[in-house]
């Protein structure tokens, strides 16, 4: 079993409900256990400014799935919840599930880069990650999560509560 951190985001079609549904689907994955879920955060959108704010959270999974196996499963969950992949980056979406960290692995494959290539600059990832992993977490490179937090202010971010029906904490 490896500890894997997943970033969740949505800004369409009842975003909090989208994230709760995605968490239930992740908890049902084979050889996988949902270990922890952060608070629900609201964040300013990246990219086009004329879109709704995002609902964000981070989940910890303990899984025996291999990285591309998990990526395929997460993309199937996105599709099942109405995700349409468009050419426009950072546009509105029903669901976005990103593998942030996969145990101690560093991966650079055409379909998957871990640690997630932009997590260091995204408060909506770092703060919920720290909430469930603790500021003492070290990335596979050895860099402490706290150093990333120190360089990424809590701007445009708001803690808005827990996800409906989700009471899993570390």
35, pLDDT greater than 60: yes
> Domain locations in the chain?
2-161
Q: For Cα atoms 144, 147, 148, give the angle at the middle one, nearest 5 degrees.
A: 100
103-162 tens-digit pLDDT:
999 999 999 999 998 898 899 999 999 999 987 899 999 999 999 999 999 998 999 998
| pLDDT, tens digit, 9 for 90 and up, residues 130-144 | 999 987 899 999 999
Please say whether the beta carbons of 83 and 94 come within 8 A. Answer: yes
pLDDT of residue 92: 79
User: Are the C-beta atoms of residues 136 and 145 closer than 8 Å to each other?
Assistant: yes
pLDDT tens digits for range 7-17: 999 999 899 99
Average per-residue pLDDT in the chain?
90
Mean pLDDT of 42-47: 88
DSSP, res 52 = P
Catalytic residues: 83, 93, 96, 98
Helix (H), strand (E) at residue 67: helix 67-80
At the topology level, CATH places domain 2-161 in Alpha-Beta Plaits (3.30.70)
The reported pLDDT for the residue numbered 117 is: 87
Residue 28's CB: how many other CB atoms inside 10 A? 11
Give the model's pLDDT for residue 165: 53
How high is the pLDDT of residue 115?
95
Q: Given this model, what pLDDT does residue 93 score?
A: 84
Of the two residues 134 and 56, the one the predictor is more confident about is 56
Cis status, amide bond into 115, omega within 30 of 0: yes
Nearest alpha-carbon partner for 45 in 1, 15, 79, 5: 15
**Which residue would you say has higher pLDDT here, 46 or 32?**
32
pLDDT score of 91: 67
List % helix, strand, coil for the chain (3-state, nearest 5).
30, 30, 45
pLDDT given for residue 90 in this prediction: 63
Q: What is the pTM of this model?
A: 0.93
**What is the per-residue pLDDT for 2?**
97
């Amino acid at each position: 079993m490896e500890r894997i951190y997943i970033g969740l985001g949505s800004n369409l079609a009842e975003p909090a409900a989208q994230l709760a549904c995605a968490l239930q689907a992740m908890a049902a994955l084979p050889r996988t256990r949902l270990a922890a879920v952060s608070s629900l955060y609201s964040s300013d959108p990246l990219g086009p400014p004329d879109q709704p704010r995002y609902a964000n959270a981070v989940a910890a999974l303990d899984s025996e799935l291999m990285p591309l196996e998990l990526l395929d499963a997460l993309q199937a969950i996105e599709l099942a919840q109405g995700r349409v992949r468009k050419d426009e980056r950072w546009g509105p979406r029903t669901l976005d599930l990103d593998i942030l960290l996969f145990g101690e692995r560093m991966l650079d494959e055409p379909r998957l880069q871990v640690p997630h290539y932009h997590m260091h600059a995204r408060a909506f990832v770092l703060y919920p990650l720290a909430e469930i992993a603790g500021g003492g977490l070290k990335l596979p490179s050895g860099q402490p999560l706290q150093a990333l937090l120190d360089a990424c202010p809590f701007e445009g971010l708001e803690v808005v509560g827990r996800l409906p029906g989700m009471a899993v904490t570390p």
